[in-house]
A and B are shown apart, each in its own frame.
Chain A
């Protein structure tokens, strides 16, 4: 199993450009998440998805859009990139359980710089 993979690993954008980050998981997880991590900080949740075709806002959703057209993929879009979106982006996935630990599995991250 590859686990959680993210594409691309690095990207440099100019202010106003758009891009899409791709997250893929092969563990058949229902839940998927996008986080961002700024230098010296913990991770903050941007958006998450509880299943195919369903997404919801997290703690810091402004400036981002997401889509989950297939269960194994979760896309994060930046329509008009801003320097404040310079960060490392992590995707994660987990099973759905009514009661349980719900361990989240993380991808290796995408380092995005917006000039």
Chain B
């Protein structure tokens, strides 16, 4: 899987939007961009995914650059419950063997939300 680069940490004020960046300059044409987050003392949870177009769901929005070499996870109104480590992960969409479902986690971005 291609490598991603994220800032180690970010801060946001409560109820303000948060933009979490991810660089993936070596992304391949069939790599999907996944975001997971890990709340304190919990296992990771899926947030959102996308390929080329911007995506929205109830948790967040994902903005993908036109050249796909970077993406941004957007939390529209940060709450205290959004304080977590956010992981940007690339993985090929298609099944290519038993190991192809592996998720490669980096260190992610630790988001702190200030009341």
Name A's B-contacting residues (CB within 8 A).
Answer: 4, 31, 33, 35, 40-45, 48, 50, 54, 56, 58-59, 90, 92, 94, 96-109
Contact = CB atoms under 8 A, between A and B. Distances in A.
A44 B98 contact: no
Nearest to B95: A98
B17 to A, nearest CB: 25
A110 B91 CA distance: 26
A101 B34 contact: yes
B107 A108 contact: no
B21 interface: no
A50 B43 contact: no
B105 A106 contact: no
A16 to B, nearest CB: 28
A99 B102 contact: no
Interface residues of B, number: 25
A40 B43 contact: no
Given A44-B105, A99-B94, A101-B32, A109 B99 contact: no
Given A42-B108, A96-B101, A106-B45, 8 more contacts: A43-B105, A92-B43, A97-B95, A99-B93, A104-B36, A104-B44, A108-B42, A109-B41
B95 A99 contact: yes
B102 A48 contact: yes
B49 interface: yes
A107 B94 contact: no
A41 to B, nearest CB: 6
A96 B99 CA distance: 12
B42 A41 contact: no
Contacts of A56: 98-99
Contact of A31 (B34, B42, B46, B101): B101
Interface in B55-111: 87, 91, 93-95, 98-99, 101-108
9 contacts: A40-B107, A42-B107, A48-B99, A54-B98, A101-B32, A104-B46, A105-B46, A106-B44, A108-B42
